[in-house]
Every structure is written in C-alpha cells, then in structure tokens.
Structure 1
C-alpha cells in the first residue's frame, strides 16, 4: 500500500473514482457512446442489495409514481428490492462479459434511460467486501451530473461512504491487462463448469426418472442458477418431507446425484398422489 501511495482514509460519498470508471467501462464498453459522452452517473454502493436500495431511494424520491414491472417467475429477493436491471453474474452464463451484458447493451442502443445495479461478490469472489455500484444512464451529460449529485445526497445519510478495499481490488484487476485476462479465462472455465454440471444433472434425472419426464429445460437455461420446474405443491412437499434447500447445486456440484434422487422422488410422489 505504501509503495502504491494508498491509505485507509475515507472515500468520497460517491466512492473510489478509479473503481467507478472501470465498473462503468466494463458494463457498457469503453467505446460505447454513453461512456464517451459522459452520460452515465456511477456511484459505488454496498454490493448488490445496497446499490439496489440506493437506486430505489432515488426512484422513490424523484419518481414517486413510477411503476415496477417484474417478470414471472422471478426470485423472491427481486420482488422485494428491485425494479431495475442487475449485473451480478456477468461472465458466468456464456463466459463472456460482453455477451452476458447483451440485454443492457440493447436498452442502451435503443436510447433508453435506465438504472443498472452491479455486484462483485460473485464476479470476483469478493463476498465480504460488499463492493458494487449503481449506474444511471441519462440522455445528456448534464443530466448525468445532476443525477450523481442526487445519488450522493441520498447515500450520505445511509452509509456516509463506501468501503475502499474491495473497490481497489476491482480497479487494480480491471486496469492490469494480465490480471484482467487471467480473470476472463477463469470466467470461461466457470461458465464451462456450470454447463457441465447442468449436463450431468440432466443425464442423472433422465436416467432415474421412470416416467420419462422432459428435463431438457435444465440444458436450455443458462447461468449459475436454475428454475427447478417443480410446481408449488411439489416445493411444499420437498420442504416438508426432505427439509432441505435448493441452492446447493450452484456451489457444490458433488450434491447433484442426491438432488436428482430427491427431485425424482418428489415428482413421482406428487404424480401418484394427484392421480
């Protein structure tokens, strides 16, 4: 730290400037016109939910009549915290940051104003650092400057200033070509591993399911999580009979044979009961 001239002084309310720059560049692309024209207001937040909270406070304060349209199905935490785009798992779906940010690029290309929350908990494994950001794409650089001022006003009484350590890690990796290339290779490996876990889960379920159900949706989905295909009655049965949670597959692939047995058991039990 001393060699790099770093310290542990408080950051400004908006966060580490180097982090804010690289996080916006990574999300939208350094050559994107919204970056070139200075139309993105980026403020460092407290990982994903903290960034969402800041964005929600901004919407509530300045757009109190705004409506949120949320897809169905979706994650429970999304309905409680979010009405905007999320950039949490970029790179883990396809192995490419650019490809996984397609939906964000599409909105930007169509000239829409939008808010995008980011988290580096999974992207870089910085779970304990609580490092994230909220990005607001505006129609002009003047609007972006004014939005940033308002975000800072809202952030000040919430948490005063964000943590510096994780922000420096992200900035250092993104600005070092060797480290950044290494991380991109790791993302490609992780994306490949996730696809392999999906394939093995599909194979195990197909082999164990005597009713020959169609489990192909597991292969069609992408990313670190998967919708199970179980209906509400089956999930209630699972929770009561098996007393387990369904978030193991993402972090522990060695569990998939057991999950296959449980999913198949629940599916057969409910099918027999309901028929």
Structure 2
C-alpha cells in the first residue's frame, strides 16, 4: 500500500536539514517557539494523578464524556436519550461509528469535498458507499453554500451526511448559525442522518459551548445523530489517544440498545480504550491555543497585504481553527517546498500552528514569491 500522504510529507520534512524549514503539514499544536506544548492544566492533572494513593492502572470505564459536546443541561442527557463510549481518539470514534452504521443504518455516506483524508478510508473499510458533496469554492475560497444545499436536496432520502462540528478540516470554513439552521431543515425534510466529526471543540473559538453549537442545535431539533470526538487535538494529548463516540437517539430504550452495540463493537476491536488521557482532559488552556492561532492568521494576512501579493487573501482570517486552505495550486505547493523548505499538503492545506513570530513573515514572503512566479 502507498505511504499515508500526511506522514510521508512529515517524514520528508524531518529529513530536511535546512534550519529555516517550516512544517505546516500535521495538525499538531506548537507554541511560539515552534515546540510541542504541554498545557499547564495537563501538567497539573498528571501530577495529581501520580500523587493520588488510590491511582491504579485497572481497566478504564467504557462510558464517554458526552457532556462536553452536548452540554450538562442537554435534553438528550436529562431524558437519557444518549449513549457515549471512550474510543481511541477521533479516528477510533469514526471507525466505531462507521461499523455501527454499517450494521444498523446502512446508507450512502456523503463526505465533504475536500475532506479529512481518513474519512473515505474509514467508511470504505466499513463497506459503506462513499460520495463527496461540494463544500469548498476554489474560485472564491469560501463555503460553496448553495451547491452544498443542492447536494443535500438531491441525495437519496435517508443518506448519511458527515458534518464537521467546527473548524472544518481541511478548509477552516464553517457554516454560520443561520446556515446551519437551513442545513438542518433540509436534512430533516429528507430524513438524512447527521454524523458529526468534532476534533477541535474549544479550539476554534476558545469556547467549548460556542464550538458545540451546531451539534446541540441538531439535538434540539429532534435528530438522531452520532458525534465522533477527539481530545488529542484540542488538549494536546496526541499520543494518549483520548476520544469519545456519542449517540443521540429517539428514546432511552433505543439509547440503551445502542450502548450495548457500542460495547460489543469495542469489545471485539480494542476491548477497552486507554484511560490516562481521558482522565486529564480539562478546559482551562484552550483560549491560549485558539488565540495564538488567530494571531498567526492575522499576521499572515497583514504580511501578504503589505507585500501586495496578487489575489484576495481575506479567507486566511475568515477561516478558523487549526487549518487553512490557502488556495495555492499543486505546482505552487511543490515550488514552495523546493525553494523555501515550506511543507504543506498538495492541495495547499496548512496547519496554522506551525507558524510563529520567527517564521510567519518568511512564510508570507514565500507565498508571495510562488504566487508571482510559479
């Protein structure tokens, strides 16, 4: 099998000995010095766990932390219409959901174009047909909203639509609340099933509740749905592989039956998710991370404006979250890598966390050069 393109790019970057290289490939948070950052609250939580005389390494409970995505006062929680289970990060949550859907609600799965690279692989591995729906408008570098709505209307009744709860990967473009309402109305009319993928709750805006708005709105509208979550991205717990799959169903009886199926699927795959990362998930430092990403967006835009780089670059600041879809071509991506040692995916997606005060101007100058010359 061919090497995964993201990790292939990462390995190329690691092998590059140029001291000025800029790694914008993998969506992992970096501080202003370009180093991995352990959140202070995570350090504190780890110290508390290690100091606890009752701490042990027994199997961790299977139940997941649904309150983070649904909110403590959610009608789904108070009426016991939900179930949630710990998973091996967001990828594990997606795969568990795909296996569940293939058994109990098989249908065509619609994923965004462009999409996170693992989505077609995961749903394909669960033997579900996968189709792309239009999300990104390459001409305007904005959400292709009208075409998206047409795709929703024209899809076969009862299709499964993968929706990014916030900070869409890879474009960084999200629907507005009014647009989410129209999307929900069409999905209800067509009896489509919402599958939310949420890797960046709290990371997009610095506010957990704001970033969960779309999921909570769909719950309030009476949808049954699934939501796959990763805590690796927003809490910097990449190697701890903490995640959760939450399901909201029509009644408590269905939720209990779904819970038994979640547990059966987990039992025959990973048996029990790792617990250490889940135990140290907290919320206190999300704003630090989100605010630094926002600052880098502003600096990129300001530098490009100062350089009078051809084109409209407002999408850099209108996008949110970890990623930005720059809109530069495959040829320009190749040129920026070979000439400036800047590493990004072939479609021009960058991880904003790879930028900092020492390299952001150089990155903008590199963009300016390839736009003019490549």
TM-score bin, normalised by smaller chain:
0.7 to 0.9
Residue 73 of structure 1 deviates from its aligned partner by 2.6
Contact preservation (8 Å) 2:76, 2:82: yes
Question: If the length of structure 2 is used for normalisation, what is the TM-score?
Answer: 0.62
Going from structure 1 to structure 2, the CA distance change for 1:210 and 1:145 (only over 3 Å counts) comes to closer
Matched residue count? 249
Contact preservation (8 Å) 1:53, 1:81: yes
Residue 259 (structure 1) aligns with: 363
Residue 119 (structure 2) aligns with: 78
Going from structure 1 to structure 2, the CA distance change for 1:244 and 1:192 (only over 3 Å counts) comes to closer
1:102 aligns with 2:213: yes
Structure 1 residues 147-156 or 77-86, which shifts more? 77-86
Contact preservation (8 Å) 1:248, 1:255: no
Structure 1 residues 230-239 or 55-64, which shifts more? 230-239
Structure 1 residues 238-247 or 95-104, which shifts more? 238-247
More strand by share: 2
Residue 37 of structure 1 deviates from its aligned partner by 0.7
> Where does 1:173-188 land on structure 2 (aligned, <5 Å)?
173=282, 180=283, 183=284, 186-188=285-287
Which SS does the other structure have where 1:195 is aligned?
helix
1:54 aligns with 2:92: no
Contact preservation (8 Å) 1:40, 1:144: yes
Going from structure 1 to structure 2, the CA distance change for 1:75 and 1:163 (only over 3 Å counts) comes to closer
Residue 210 of structure 1 deviates from its aligned partner by 4.8
> Deviations for 1:36-60, whole angstroms, at most 9, x for unmatched residues?
1111110100011111111111112
More helix by share: 1
Going from structure 1 to structure 2, the CA distance change for 1:223 and 1:68 (only over 3 Å counts) comes to same
Residue 128 (structure 1) aligns with: 239
Which SS does the other structure have where 1:215 is aligned?
coil
1:42 aligns with 2:140: no
Residue 236 of structure 1 deviates from its aligned partner by 4.7
> Deviations for 1:139-165, whole angstroms, at most 9, x for unmatched residues?
111101101111111111211111121
Residue 194 (structure 1) aligns with: 293
Distance in 2, matches of 1:157 and 1:30, equals 31
> Where does 1:107-256 land on structure 2 (aligned, <5 Å)?
107-170=218-281, 173=282, 180=283, 183=284, 186-211=285-310, 213-238=311-336, 244-246=342-344, 247=350, 249-253=352-356, 254-256=358-360
Going from structure 1 to structure 2, the CA distance change for 1:143 and 1:222 (only over 3 Å counts) comes to same
Which SS does the other structure have where 1:69 is aligned?
strand
Of 73, 76, 82 in structure 2, the residue corresponding to residue 31 of structure 1 is: 73
Which SS does the other structure have where 1:203 is aligned?
helix
Question: If the length of structure 1 is used for normalisation, what is the TM-score?
Answer: 0.82
Residue 249 of structure 1 deviates from its aligned partner by 3.3
Distance in 2, matches of 1:11 and 1:86, equals 24
Residue 77 of structure 1 deviates from its aligned partner by 2.9
Structure scoring higher RCO (CA < 8 A, sep ≥ 6) equals 2
Q: Which runs of 5+ in 1 are unaligned?
A: 174-179, 271-275
